[in-house]
Structure 1
Amino acid sequence: MRILLCCICLLLSALAGADPLPPMLALRAPADVDPTAYWVSEKLDGVRARWDGEALRLRNGERIAAPAWFTRPLPALPLDGELWMARGRFDALSGLVRRQLPDEADWRQVRYMLFELPGADGDFSARLERLKAIERDAGADWIRVVPQRRVADRDQLDALFREVVGQGGEGLMLHRADAHWAPGRSEALLKMTPFEDAEATVVGHLPGRGRLRGKLGALAVIDTEGRRFRVGSGFTDAQRASPPAVGALITYRFRERTPRGLPRFPVFVRERLLP
């Protein structure tokens, strides 16, 4: 019953442009986390996409122009997942998702990697079994469940983390096995990455000097806590020539924070497909 009501809510919200069912969001995994309580998966560098029963949508509700054949196997109930090509292919995927007319050939390279049933009953282990059944019923090689595994201890978790990062992956996600679905951030969903990452909104462009004269020197940004700072590294020459616009949301990485809470040596990662 709950998932039926959630499906109705998502369909109505899509029509209204609202989002009454916010997604689950990850916290950073603490150093002393007990991994035996969690299912562990790779953190994919894709575009998060939510299926409302009729269309794929970004978190802001914007419809993704996916080909009809791509979404036809999906069920009429809410799903959460990641559109993904391969490690290191985010930029190509981002450009594809932004197009108003789907490129049939390029979409053949995309998979919809499922990791959650928003609003569904049961703990994550039970929801995972339902996702596997959805994959089987879909019968399409582009509809997949993100592979999940259990680890015996922290040493095994750390070894898996080093393996994934060493092969070009972003890190790991930890889903608490006995946790029921709930919106927002909680210890039910954790992430492990080599650096901390966060999001900020672009509020200005600072000009470059020397080799960068005439191009972007740094972005002036403001984070969710109202802290203002600059992000000046991590950009390609093409991104410096055509930087994210004022108002755009970006992801940046950093190692630690100052006593004032500002990130030390923030590095630009990507522009987010979110408002």
Structure 2
Amino acid sequence: MMYAEEWDGKQDPAGWCMTEDLDGFRAFWDGTHLYSKNGNIFPIPLEFTEGLPRDVCLDGILWVGSSALHKLSSICRKTSRLLHDNYQNAIDLWRNVNFSVYDAPMVDGYYLDRYSFAKNSISKCQSNIQMIPTECCLGWNHLQTKLHQIKHHSGKGMILYHPSSLYTPGRTTNILKVNTDRAENN
């Protein structure tokens, strides 16, 4: 997995791709299972992933909405038990969980190429499997406007992707995390 560096406020964001930083659990789809950033398989009902492509790896976030990480954590804890005791209840718990995708790590090419490939790969998936919208940042004011919008709905911040970056596992300056409060200080 690739991990973002904190934005230092000095890097000009113009031309970078912006996505909202969702408050959830990082998840990696290998074509068979969803894994956490620590390499653990998420205990989920098969129905949740039945439409995901079997020949594509996807990087994204499991989430249930802004400021609802505690709810997602509770769903994950309860699911392990329910998968054995009451499968239908496990399915019901996952109805409001989304897998929001932002990259296809095994695809050769730059970020925008991988994003486009991932988008096409999940185009026929059920509605809880979706791409995190991305747009090109026009500069400081555009970034601040987006951060204010995200802060208004209690979001975390933005992630900036260098559009011509290759997928390289580990921490990288080609992905920058921008907290909602950070841009106001610049």
TM-score by length of 2: 0.88
Provide the residue aligned with 2:53 in structure 1.
75
RMSD of aligned residue pairs (Cα, Å) = 1.7
Provide the residue aligned with 2:66 in structure 1.
87
Maintained 8 Å contact 1:170/1:193? yes
Provide the residue aligned with 1:130 in structure 2.
117
Provide the residue aligned with 2:163 in structure 1.
177
Cα deviation code 1:20-79 (max 9, x no counterpart) = xxx100001121222123110111001111111111111222111111111111112211
Maintained 8 Å contact 1:80/1:115? yes
Structure 1 residues 192 and 27: alpha-carbon distance in aligned structure 2, compared to 1, 3 A threshold: same
Maintained 8 Å contact 2:150/2:180? no
- Which one of 13, 28, 31 corresponds to residue 6 of structure 2? 28
Higher RCO structure (Cα 8 Å, ≥6 apart): 2
Maintained 8 Å contact 1:84/1:111? yes
Provide the residue aligned with 2:86 in structure 1.
none
- Which one of 88, 91, 95 corresponds to residue 104 of structure 1? 91
* Matched position secondary structure for 1:36: coil
> Which stretches of structure 1, 4 residues or more, deviate above 3 A after TM superposition?
none
Provide the residue aligned with 2:29 in structure 1.
51
> Which structure 1 segments of 5+ residues have no match?
1-22, 197-275
* Matched position secondary structure for 1:64: coil
CA displacement at 1:80 relative to structure 2:
1.0
Identity %: 28
Maintained 8 Å contact 1:47/1:82? yes
Maintained 8 Å contact 2:160/2:175? yes
Q: Distance in 2 between matches of 1:122 and 1:53?
A: 20
Is 1:149 paired with 2:135?
Answer: yes
Provide the residue aligned with 1:192 in structure 2.
178
Larger Rg: 1
CA displacement at 1:151 relative to structure 2:
2.1
Q: Would you say how many aligned residue pairs link Structure 1 and Structure 2?
A: 174
TM-score by length of 1: 0.60
CA displacement at 1:137 relative to structure 2:
3.1
Q: Distance in 1 between matches of 2:65 and 2:135?
A: 20
> Which structure 2 segments of 5+ residues have no match?
84-89
CA displacement at 1:194 relative to structure 2:
4.1
